[in-house]
Every structure is written in structure tokens, then in C-alpha cells.
Amino acid sequence: MFSRSAVAVTTGMLALSLLTACGSSSGGTDAGGGSKSDKITMGFAQVGAESGWRTANTKSIQSSAADAGITLKFTDAQQKQANQIQSIRSFIQQKVDVIAFSPVVESGWDSVLKEAKDAKIPVILTDRAVDSQDKTLYKTFLGSDFVKEGTKAGDWLVKDSASATGDVNIAEIQGTTGSAPAIDRQTGFKAAIAANPKLKIIASQTGDFTRAGGKQVMEAFLKAHPKQINVVFAHNDDMALGAIEAIEGAGLTPGKDIKIVSIDAVKDGMTALSEGKINYIVECNPLLGPQLMDVAKKVVAGETVPTRIETKETEFDQAAATAALPTRQY
């Protein structure tokens, strides 16, 4: 009898121990010894793959998620807002821990972001902002100050054109219509060049942030304004590179006959700058992955994060680009 009782007590204690160790969702551990609650799943809805910048941005996010031990559910919206909204709703249905995305355009997000909020899934905006009046729909915006980027481009042109005796005619190749970088870069640039009344924008059209779009728009500008354009302001390097093709196709020399100022500082753009085909580039850093994963962990843990997290960036002239190219990561 004593032996049977001892066995029963021991068995009961063992069962209780196993239940305590493995049956609790809040206190369990995985095979590696970490808490199950530490496992984070992120849904990320990318704009697309429209440029070298975006490709570098995607690679940074994917590699950083792997390094951080975060499970990444990644979608490519192909520059269509409807696709991004569909992806976000899918992430909500899958009950991911956090959602991050780079909005195709600024407006039209309140409804789907409210759905995420109601599902208690925090949202992080990366690279591009939204114009929602309800700031509780997302936790933070991680990215560049696009107005500042446009301002830097305009400031350079003001200095470069200080000795001009006549009007300096500018052709502006805009990013995707309605997107935050297109709106803000134009705003900053226009405000900066207002310091010199000789600087005049005589043509402005979207190239949709693509090299093909930049070439097409520049070809149209050259036909509409033959021998009148002095400067091209491209909202990103890919469109500037497309503009270079069009300028060369017209028998002109980019960087001399028509000066070019751009934003991004991707490797192809920096190469063109080192060759003198682009005159000045304002950096927009695409390597947001490490910062995003760090912020995601804090948000999921319930920590308070700043509502605006700005990336650190610089500017390049020909000499600086030549020096930076050998170690350029993107």
C-alpha cells in the first residue's frame, strides 16, 4: 500500500510539474530556451520594386527580420494602394503581432488602419507617411524628412546659380502623384528656390519614380521646351538616370548642357554623379531594416516609442560620391 501511494504521489507531482512547465502559454519556452511570447510575426506591405532604392529597402527589411528572429510575411503591392489595403487586411486576419508598410500614397488609409487598431495590432509606417488626422491609428513613422531633402536640393541650386545673369529654367520630374515623397520634396524645393527669383520651374510632370518614366518625361520636356531647360530636378535617382538617357539621346551633355540635381544616392546614381552626369544628390537612406525591427520589438512589448523617428542622411557632390562609391552598400 505504501509503495502504491508513493508512486501515485510522485506521478501526480510529475504531472503537475509538466503542466506548469509546458501548459502555460505565458510561461512556456521554445526549443532554444526563449519565451514563446518573444516570437514576433510582422506583416510588411511594400510599395513595389520601382527603383534601386526600393530594392535596397526590401533587402534591408528582409535580412534584418531574419537577423532579429522576426517572422516576416512580405507582400509587394506593385505600386497599387488597393493591393496594399488587401495585404493589410490579410495580415489582420492572420493575427500578426505588428504591421508595417510604406504607403503608396498619403490618403485613403483610415478605414483599414482602424481595422488594425480594433484588432489590437500595432502599425508602423516606414519611409512614407499618411495624412490621417487620427494619429492613434499608427504607433510611429520611421523614415526620412522629405521636405528637408527637397530643401537641400533647392539650397544647392540657389548657391550654384548665384552668378547666373539670366533666368535658370528648371524641369521637375516628380515622383508618384499623391505620394508623400513627391509632395514633400516638391514643397521643400519650391520653398528653397524662392530665395532666387531667377530660378523658374517651367515644366513639371510625374515619372512615377521609375527610370523608364524619367526618360519618357524628359523626352517630352525636351520636345516642348527645346534649348530652354537649364536644370533638371528629379525626385529620385532612377528618374534622373532616365533623364540622362533622354538628354544624351537629344545630343546634349548631362551635367553640363543641362545640370541635374536628384535625391536618393543609390549606387547607380552615385556612379553617374562621379562621372559628372549628375551634379548633386541628396541622400535618402533605404537601409531602414535594423531600426524597423528594433522599433517593432518595442511596440509589441508595449513600450512607448517616439511618434517620429528620422533617419540620418547627408549630401554628395562629385568628389564626395567618388570617395563613397567603393564602400557603398546600395
The predicted pLDDT at position 329 comes to 82
Q: In which residue are the cell numbers 502623384 written? A: 177
What is the Cα–Cα distance from 95 to 120, expressed in whole angstroms?
A: 9
The predicted pLDDT at position 12 comes to 42
Distances (CA, A) of 88 to 64, 83, 91, 107, 210: 21, 9, 5, 15, 25
What is the Cα–Cα distance from 241 to 125, expressed in whole angstroms?
A: 28
Sequence-ordered list of residues with C-beta below 8 angstroms from that of 186, at least 6 positions apart, any chain: 150, 172, 174, 204, 235
Is residue 318 helix, strand or coil? helix
- Alpha helix stretches (DSSP H) within 125-175: 146-160
CB 201 within 8 A of CB 168: no
Report residue 29's pLDDT band, with 50, 70 and 90 as the boundaries: very low
Exposed, middle or buried, 201 (CB in 10 Å: 0-12/13-18/19+)? middle
Helices 52-68/267-274 angle, 10° precision? 130
Share of the chain above pLDDT 90, in %: 85
Phi, psi (rounded to 5 degrees) for 123: -120, 135
What is the Cα–Cα distance from 324 to 330, expressed in whole angstroms?
A: 11
Report residue 15's pLDDT band, with 50, 70 and 90 as the boundaries: very low
- Identify the residue with better confidence: 3 or 181: 181
What is the Cα–Cα distance from 151 to 53, expressed in whole angstroms?
A: 20
Dump pLDDT digits (tens) for 171-208.
999 999 999 999 999 999 999 999 999 999 999 999 99
Has residue 33 got a pLDDT over 80? Answer: no
Length of the chain counted residue by residue: 330
CATH of domain 39-144+286-311: 3.40.50.2300
Which whole number is the average pLDDT over 209-230?
A: 97
Q: Which helix (H) or strand (E) holds 264?
A: strand 259-264
Has residue 24 got a pLDDT over 70? Answer: no
Which grid coordinates belong to 246?
533622354
The predicted pLDDT at position 32 comes to 33
Fold match flag (39-144+286-311 vs 146-284):
yes
Report residue 26's pLDDT band, with 50, 70 and 90 as the boundaries: very low
The predicted pLDDT at position 50 comes to 87
The predicted pLDDT at position 101 comes to 98
Q: What CATH number does domain 146-284 carry, 3.40.640.10, 3.40.50.2300, 1.10.340.30, 3.30.429.10? A: 3.40.50.2300
Has residue 5 got a pLDDT over 80? Answer: no
Dump pLDDT digits (tens) for 53-95.
999 999 999 999 999 999 999 999 999 999 999 999 999 999 9
Report residue 232's pLDDT band, with 50, 70 and 90 as the boundaries: very high
Residues forming beta bridges with residue 44, ordered by sequence position = 74, 100
Contacts 24+ apart (CB under 8 A), 314-318: 314/283, 315/152, 315/156, 315/280, 315/281, 315/282, 315/283, 316/265, 316/270, 316/273, 316/280, 316/281, 316/283, 317/273, 317/279, 317/280, 318/273, 318/274, 318/276, 318/279
**In the chain, what are the domain boundaries?**
39-144+286-311, 146-284
